[in-house]
Amino acid sequence: MTPAPRVPLIIYRGISKGFDNKEVLEGIDLEIYEGETMVILGRSGSGKTVMTCMLVGLMRPEAGTLNVAGVDLTQLQSDADWRELRLKTGYLFQGSALYDSMTVGENVAFPLVQHTDLSLEEITRRVHEKLAQVGLAEVESLEPAALSGGMQRRAALARSLALDPQIIVYDEPTSGLDPITGDEIGHLIRHLQEALKVTSIIVTHDLRLTEMVADRLALLFKGRLVFLGTFPEFLQSSHPEVRRFLHRFDQEKEE
């Protein structure tokens, strides 16, 4: 019996975007399937973060369409139009972006307080649950400044999970972390994807992380998508930009 064809959850079609008369994205076509982890690789300024910011309305394409779960995002106009989709999307910002004036528990509770009518008891239960999912069951009463960089990243991820999102976007999740802590974050990302069946999109230039978590990866170069496939296929690609990335990866492995 032939399996049913996979239906993409997120579809970029002909997406273009520029700043100051410079094209950052040019005609991007990409499909991301429900439940998969897609890594978007590229040099600084290649448009990686621009692609993901479009998913939550922080930026809009100048051409093309962006469809998520059957909704054409390019047609959404107001915050009210965006609300439902944003509540289904968790976003882990580079650098964590925790509120310094709140405890870790209050940070995780914040989206629940702002966007739901849940009781204090239910919010407290969910905060415990989300912190436990990221291995931070004992830090709820601490302030973010008391946590290490890796623990701050985990706490921010717990906040991203608070509303049980369908999609999680990670913006450079291992940036600024030492290799061991970066590996721990990578294992956590993979575990959460398998346990929660979420669709994960990871913006990074970290090939070690990519090897750990990617079901497929897309490589951007000069505003265009120059590779799309699995990590083993990436290793075999002859594209010059792929070879440049892999040369650096080999150097890092030797260090």
What the block records as the tokens of 196 is 């929660």
Q: Looking at the structure, tell me whether residues 157 and 178 fall in a common domain.
A: no
Q: For the chain, give the percent of residues with pLDDT over 90.
A: 56
- Render each residue's pLDDT in the chain as its tens digit; 255 residues: 555 567 899 999 999 998 887 888 999 999 999 999 999 998 887 888 899 888 888 888 999 999 998 889 888 888 888 888 888 899 888 777 888 899 999 999 999 998 888 999 999 999 999 999 999 988 889 999 999 988 999 999 999 999 999 999 999 999 888 989 999 999 999 999 889 899 999 999 889 999 999 999 999 998 899 999 999 999 999 999 899 888 876 656 555
Q: Looking at the structure, tell me whether residues 123 and 203 fall in a common domain.
A: no
Number of domains in the chain: 2
In single-letter form, the type of residue at position 164 comes to D
Inter-residue contact 100 to 137 (CB < 8 Å): no
Q: Looking at the structure, tell me whether residues 129 and 245 fall in a common domain.
A: no
For residue 29, is it within any domain? no
Inter-residue contact 213 to 189 (CB < 8 Å): yes
Q: Taking all residues of the chain, what is their mean pLDDT, rounded to a whole number?
A: 89
Q: Which domain holds residue 179?
A: 38-61+168-255
Q: Is 253 exposed, middle or buried (0-12, 13-18, 19+ CB in 10 A)?
A: exposed
Q: Looking at the structure, tell me whether residues 236 and 174 fall in a common domain.
A: yes
For residue 221, is it within any domain? yes
CA distance 194 to 198: 8
Strands 224-229 and 216-221: antiparallel
Q: Looking at the structure, tell me whether residues 184 and 250 fall in a common domain.
A: yes
Q: Looking at the structure, tell me whether residues 213 and 198 fall in a common domain.
A: yes
CA distance 200 to 207: 16
Q: Looking at the structure, tell me whether residues 161 and 173 fall in a common domain.
A: no
Q: Looking at the structure, tell me whether residues 248 and 177 fall in a common domain.
A: yes
Domain termination residue (choose one: 123, 138, 165): 165
Domain termination residue (choose one: 141, 165, 189): 165
For 153, half-sphere exposure in the C-beta direction (CA atoms, 13 angstrom radius) is 22
Domain termination residue (choose one: 165, 192, 207): 165
Q: What is the pTM of this model?
A: 0.89
For residue 72, is it within any domain? no
